[in-house]
Amino acid sequence: MSGTDKTKAGHDLAGPVVILVEPQLGENIGMAARAMGNFALTRMRIVNPRDGWPNEKARIAASGANYIIDDARAFGTLDESISDLNWVAATTARQRDLRKPVLTPEQAIAEMRTRIGRGERCGVLFGRERNGLETGEVAHADVLIMIPVNSRFASLNLAQAVLLTGYEWMRGDAGRSLGRVTTYEKPLEEGLYMGRDRPATKEELIGLFEHLERELEEKGFFNPAHRKTVVSQNLRTLLTRMNATEQEVRTLRGIVATLAQGKGRARRGGE
């Protein structure tokens, strides 16, 4: 806790990306930016904002934190917004019937700190002001974050959820600086990865999923068609939970290609 390099620049870069999914009001985007600014988070992404992007109301509401709004990137789909990330947490206000770990903000931030320390890119998804995230959207996340609130009065708004996440980031970081992140404790799961591979990006994982889905579709796996949504979500959850490396995703694509292409040697890589 002492004698560490407290340079600011490094700290700014280290934080998780904040991803707002279909936010409705520009004011709320601006308030979320302020909450980020309070705790030195800087990277905001916005998926399909209702009122378009850029949004002058968001800039005004962000006040001193409009540097965050100015740097924010807008995406048409959730998939695109997380494609370069390695690990994604989804904030949720309610229990869901998904087989995903549910973490406190503290636990999720600790995990992100470990991952960021070894060079991974992490993000946190925040849902719409009214309805939060849809189940299909949550399926892409590695874990859920549930903020422990009073079950009788659980109405956190978007900016508050961002604020508490940012607070955890800075709280856990108190007294440390980014210069030392690399020296953080070795992750427990490190031994799980085969060899020295890097974790797959979401883009690679989504590529695998879409490849598999295409082949299954062609072979009639999703008949009757109404099965498809649920089965697809479950598959995404399952594949996400594997925590695969880039090499493993390629192997799995090779397996899908081999199985789907009938007898004989199949193309092995997924590329």
Map the footprint of its own copies across residues 210-249, applying CB under 8 A: 212, 215-216, 218-221, 223, 231, 234-235, 237-238, 241-245, 248
Find the part of the chain contacting its own copies (CB under 8 A) among 17-25, 52-60, 100-108, 131-139.
Answer: 100-108
- Least distance between its own copies and beta carbon 174 (Å): 5
User: Of residues 51, 71, 189, 210, which one binds its own copies by CB under 8 A?
Assistant: 189
User: Of residues 88, 122, 181, 205, which one binds its own copies by CB under 8 A?
Assistant: 181
What DSSP string describes 106-147? Answer: HHHHHHHHHHHHTT--EEEEE-BTTTB--HHHHTT-SEEE--
CA distance readout (Å), 3 to 8, 106, 123, 149? 15, 24, 29, 36
Q: Where are the alpha helices (DSSP H) in 186-226?
A: 202-218
- Interface with its own copies, residue 195, by CB under 8 A: yes
Strand, helix or coil for residue 245: strand
- Least distance between its own copies and beta carbon 78 (Å): 21
- With respect to its own copies, which residue has the nearer C-beta, 77 or 154? 154
Number of residues near its own copies (by CB under 8 A): 93
Of 110-129, binders to its own copies (CB under 8 A) are 111
Of 29-48, binders to its own copies (CB under 8 A) are 34-35, 37-40
Torsion 180-168-23-86 (CA) sign: positive
User: Of residues 95, 226, 269, 271, which one binds its own copies by CB under 8 A?
Assistant: 95
Give the total residue count for the chain: 271
- Interface with its own copies, residue 66, by CB under 8 A: no
- Interface with its own copies, residue 73, by CB under 8 A: no
Helix (H) or strand (E) holding 168: helix 158-173
Strand, helix or coil for residue 97: coil
- With respect to its own copies, which residue has the nearer C-beta, 77 or 104? 104
User: Of residues 107, 129, 246, 270, which one binds its own copies by CB under 8 A?
Assistant: 107
Considering only CA atoms, give the Rg of the chain. Answer: 20
Of 154-173, binders to its own copies (CB under 8 A) are 154-156, 160, 163-164, 167, 170-171
User: Of residues 149, 228, 246, 270, which one binds its own copies by CB under 8 A?
Assistant: 149
- Interface with its own copies, residue 265, by CB under 8 A: yes
- Interface with its own copies, residue 4, by CB under 8 A: no
CB environment 52-91: b (16+ within 10 A), e (fewer): ebebeebbebbeebbebbeebebbeebbbbbbebbbbbbb
Q: How far apart are CA 142 and CA 32, in angstroms?
A: 23
User: Of residues 1, 2, 9, 97, which one binds its own copies by CB under 8 A?
Assistant: 97
Q: What are phi and psi of 147, to 5 degrees?
A: -75, 125
Q: CA nearest 40: which of 70, 7, 88?
A: 7
